[in-house]
Amino acid sequence: MISTFVSCYAMSGSSCLRWKMAAPIQRGTDHHKTFGAKAYLALYYATPEGTDEEGELLTPYLKEFHEIFNSGRLKPGSRLLDVGSGPTIHQLISASRFCTEIVCAEYTENNRAEIEKWVKKDPDMHDWTPFFKFVADLEGDSSSWEARQSHLRDAIKEVITCDVTKPEPFAPRQYQEFDVVTTTLCLEAACPDRESYSAPVRNITRLLKPGGTFVLAGVTNQTFYTVGGYKFFTLPIDSSFMREVFEKAGYVDINIKSFPATNPENNTISDIDGFVVLHASKAEI
């Protein structure tokens, strides 16, 4: 694998791309070698409108996160755990208004490094400015975006390693229960089959306060997405499966909104048929 990978660099751009597209679908530990943080950000997170290929999917998802957190469910001073953050922070913007402590948990070192770069204002960081401006507009105060950026930088206290397929996903770290947990596009990328999807939900739930909120954004019926020319595995699931998993994990007030893909016939970068935003409360004991 390594020698083939190295020789890929020696090929011209188009033959290298052909080799990557023909490579086996990437999954599990492959993420450490082939999930290109920069390529992922450039393709999927250049603007809040998302990609031309997938159609406008990101905007409704950002609006839904705004609605969820604008509803007064979080008290100022809340603590948030984000699971499978990837190299992204857009999923935290709406909630961060109410948070003084955010822990980002992510599987690969390269992705964690991208978040660290943004927190430290490294010159090589991804530019999330358009996302802050978009959310500030939704909140009705377009002048607040810079203050929101500084606040989120201060609120991100740790970027830690995690593996949701393990019984203790955040080991060796130990935490008191959080007020809110978020996870976006992670579980269907990390879990190889439907049986293994429920365990991380239960394991993450242990770190949520009774009455706390779980917010999940997920893709539906997708089998792959593309990063830097490689195809990555996605577990195809739908909203009724997600509802069942969250009911069994002890959640109440499960609310799921579905957003169908707007451009499936021209989409060459994934086979997404839509996405969902789920929010639910952990039952009080």
Ligand X SMILES: C[S@@+](CC[C@H](N)C(=O)[O-])C[C@H]1O[C@@H](n2cnc3c(N)ncnc32)[C@H](O)[C@@H]1O
For position 64 contacting ligand X by CB under 6 A, the verdict is no
For position 119 contacting ligand X by CB under 6 A, the verdict is no
Q: How far apart are CA 160 and CA 173, in angstroms?
A: 8
Give me the DSSP letters along 201-257: HHHHHTTEEEEEEEEEEEEES--EEEETTEEEE-----HHHHHHHHHHTTEEEEEEE
What would the two tokens of residue 22 be? Answer: 């023909």
Is 4 in a helix, a strand, or coil? Answer: helix
Cis before 60? omega within 30 = no
For position 86 contacting ligand X by CB under 6 A, the verdict is yes
For position 274 contacting ligand X by CB under 6 A, the verdict is no
Q: How far apart are CA 37 and CA 109, in angstroms?
A: 10
Restricted to residues 19-58, the positions that interact with ligand X (CB under 6 A) are: 31, 35
For position 111 contacting ligand X by CB under 6 A, the verdict is yes
Exposure string for 128-145, b = 16+ CB within 10 A, e = fewer: beebbbbbbebbeeeebb
Which C-beta is closer to ligand X: that of 88 or that of 149? 88
Which C-beta is closer to ligand X: that of 115 or that of 280? 115
For position 135 contacting ligand X by CB under 6 A, the verdict is no
- C-beta of 174: minimal distance to ligand X in Å? 18
For position 270 contacting ligand X by CB under 6 A, the verdict is no
- C-beta of 137: minimal distance to ligand X in Å? 21
Which C-beta is closer to ligand X: that of 155 or that of 190? 190
Question: Of all residues in this chain, which one has the CB nearest to ligand X in the complex?
Answer: 86
Which C-beta is closer to ligand X: that of 7 or that of 47? 47
Is 182 in a helix, a strand, or coil? Answer: strand
Interacting residue with ligand X among 164, 242, 272, 277 (CB under 6 A): 164
Pairing of strands 230-233, 274-282: unpaired
Which C-beta is closer to ligand X: that of 69 or that of 107? 107
Interacting residue with ligand X among 186, 215, 245, 277 (CB under 6 A): 186
- C-beta of 61: minimal distance to ligand X in Å? 9
Distances (CA, A) of 128 to 43, 45, 66, 121, 164: 14, 8, 16, 11, 26
First to last CA, the chain: 50
Which C-beta is closer to ligand X: that of 145 or that of 232? 232
Q: How far apart are CA 157 and CA 119, in angstroms?
A: 9
Pairing of strands 274-282, 178-184: unpaired
- C-beta of 185: minimal distance to ligand X in Å? 4
The piece of 16-24, 50-58, 81-89, 247-255 that touches ligand X (CB under 6 A) is 81-89
- C-beta of 143: minimal distance to ligand X in Å? 27
Binding residues for ligand X (CB under 6 A):
31, 35, 84-86, 88, 91, 106-108, 111, 162-165, 184-186, 189-190
